[in-house]
Amino acid sequence: MTSKLDLDPGRIACCRESADAVARAVLAFASERTTVSIERATLRLIGVEGGDDAGVPWVNRVVDGARSLLPGGIALPFARAMRVGGLDPTQTARAVAEGGLELGGEGVADSETQALAHALAERAMARISGTVADREARLEALGEGPRPLLYVIVASGNIFEDVVQAKVCVRAGAQVVAVIRSTAQSLLDYIPEGTTTEGYGGTYATQGNFRVMRAALDEASEEAGRYVRLCNYASGLCMPEMAALGAVERLDVMLNDALYGILFRDINMQRTLTDQAFSRLVSAAGGILINTGEDNYLTTADAVDAAHTVLASQFINEAIALRCGLQPWQLGLGHAMQMNPLNEDTFLLEVAQAQMAREIFPDCPLKYMPPTKHMTGDIFRGHVQDAMFSLASVMTGQGIHLLGMMTEAMHTPHIHDRVLALDATRMVMGSARHLADEISFVPGGRIRTRAQEVLAEACDLLETVRRDGIFAALGQGRFADVVRTAEGGRGLDGVFVKSPDYRNPVEDLLRGRVAWRGAAEGA
């Protein structure tokens, strides 16, 4: 891509070098640890489903009762229990939870147990391969329309009402449908079972709900003549499990950020960064496009002053993702239009930020988020702000465009608000579809100067994070003006240092399927 901003390639390379050093340190830390959610995700991938009468998943019952075994991994003890009981994975999990079978004991590491564990892992890989092949076939047959992909949120709390709303949005032009999670689900250390009809501020993310919406969007895709992507979350205390369910239920897009849970949900950083590596490994194998959460930084920090922190985080997210086997086409790196629209030349600064991201990450389908921080109850001004956002998006070649809503600051948008947003966005983007091909930016002008300044500040920040380490940077409030500590937050009690005999054949096969580089120096 020819740079319209005259960005310094040496400085960009320096940023990537620093970010990669940060990624290596993060993955070196993560590779020495496992978590309750990684072990639960392993059980889910080998076929454990369902829960007890109280709705507690069997995977939670098994892992919670076997914490002393987790430093060595749950896979081999569970495979031994399957051999002893002669049961399938779900039946075995239930028997273990109810006391009919024990984990551990003699034979945990014998050849027959290892062979069964490997066979279960191979079956998990075959299941994921099937969802990837299904997606690719549907995309080949239907296509998905021009980019940026128009991304719409549904979040009624009732998955069946969400289906109705999603189909209306597809008819109006939506290309990605995201089912927003119920408020604070990220803080639950379990995934609810089955389909749900109640939720606050969103709909619970469950395997049952994934299946319902996936089937509905497949039907809507056939009717619309284009493939519609399904989005949900691989974040929070169940990040690895969410990624696993997304891979087996054919979700196409999942929100998955290295720092979001730490900064905005106060989840312990050791837990999050350990879970992150496994979740991205699963997403890489599942062909899932991840969305990162840098847009959220500008809701707590000033969008002008903190713009460089967004870019620095994008570099870090990119470096971790690539080392975990994700390809550039899977990296929906996040950013947002969050500057005060009443300030002079704000639009120029926003274009500078968006164009800069586009040029630095040319192969990534950048996820561009709408104005929210400065939205008011004035729906007419809000509609104008969203139109400006759409113009900035199409003229800088963004990959995924989350629609803004004129009623953003008033209530959870109604379905007609979404349809109006889709209509307006399609009009703006259609009328300016090739504007990017016709424009350049003045040397020494405001847009070029702003982008170059932000890049320089991001470079300095990344050098600091490389020198001090990510834990120290988070403790100093370097991102989003939020301070966290290595021992603070939720979930630290679910982190375990691996013993020398740790085994996880599912993770081993996942690494073998993708371009996993982990923390290998210089790789």
For residue 323, pLDDT beyond 80:
yes
Beta carbons within 8 Å of 39's beta carbon, 6+ residues apart: 63, 70, 73, 74
Same domain, 105 and 38: yes
Where does the pLDDT of residue 220 fall: very low under 50, low under 70, confident under 90, or very high at 90 and above? very high
Q: Cis before residue 71, ω within 30 degrees of 0?
A: no
* Rounded Cα gap, residues 257 and 333, in angstroms: 9
Same domain, 333 and 463: yes
Range of the domain at 81: 34-122
Catalytic residue from among 190, 227, 260, 368:
260
pTM of the full structure: 0.97
> Please, which residues bridge with residue 149 across strands?
400
Domain membership of residue 425 (yes or no) is: no
Domain membership of residue 171 (yes or no) is: yes
Same domain, 317 and 251: yes
What is the structure's pLDDT at 521?
62
For residue 214, pLDDT beyond 90:
yes
What is the structure's pLDDT at 413?
84
Domain membership of residue 216 (yes or no) is: yes
* Rounded Cα gap, residues 286 and 281, in angstroms: 9
Domain membership of residue 410 (yes or no) is: no
What is the structure's pLDDT at 422?
97
What is the structure's pLDDT at 414?
86
Side-chain-side CA neighbours of residue 473 (13 Å): 24
Domain membership of residue 199 (yes or no) is: yes
Catalytic residue check, 295: yes
Q: What DSSP string describes 352-392?
A: HHHHHHHHHSTTS--EEEPP-TT--S-HHHHHHHHHHHHHH
Catalytic residue from among 4, 367, 386, 417:
367
Structure confidence by residue, pLDDT tens digits, 20-33: 999 999 999 999 99
Same domain, 5 and 80: no
Structure confidence by residue, pLDDT tens digits, 45-55: 999 999 999 99
In Å, how far are 309, 352, 392 from 3, measured between CA atoms?
22, 12, 17
Question: What does the pLDDT average to over 395-422?
Answer: 92
Same domain, 319 and 281: yes
- Domain total of the chain: 3
What is the structure's pLDDT at 286?
98
Which of 213, 232, 224 has the alpha carbon at shortest distance from 172?
Answer: 224
Catalytic residue from among 295, 297, 368, 417:
295
* Rounded Cα gap, residues 164 and 263, in angstroms: 34
Please say which residue of 70, 88, 122 terminates a domain.
122
What is the structure's pLDDT at 157?
95
The H or E element containing residue 46 is none
Same domain, 457 and 314: yes
Same domain, 229 and 180: yes
The H or E element containing residue 341 is none
The mean pLDDT of the chain is 96
| CATH number of 243's domain | 3.20.20.440
Residue with tokens 């008011």: 376
What is the structure's pLDDT at 108?
83
Same domain, 94 and 184: no
Please say which residue of 87, 122, 157 terminates a domain.
122
Same domain, 101 and 41: yes
Assigned token pair, 65? 């009762």
Domain membership of residue 394 (yes or no) is: no
Structure confidence by residue, pLDDT tens digits, 102-131: 998 777 889 999 999 999 999 999 999 999
3-state DSSP helix/strand/coil percent for the chain, to nearest 5? Answer: 55, 10, 35
Catalytic residue check, 200: no
What is the structure's pLDDT at 522?
56
Which of 316, 309, 361 has the alpha carbon at shortest distance from 336?
Answer: 309
Same domain, 225 and 253: no
For residue 177, pLDDT beyond 60:
yes
Structure confidence by residue, pLDDT tens digits, 409-440: 888 788 899 999 999 999 999 999 999 999 99
Domain membership of residue 74 (yes or no) is: yes
Same domain, 221 and 149: yes
Same domain, 277 and 298: yes
Question: What does the pLDDT average to over 224-235?
Answer: 98
Please say which residue of 173, 205, 233 terminates a domain.
233
Domain membership of residue 209 (yes or no) is: yes
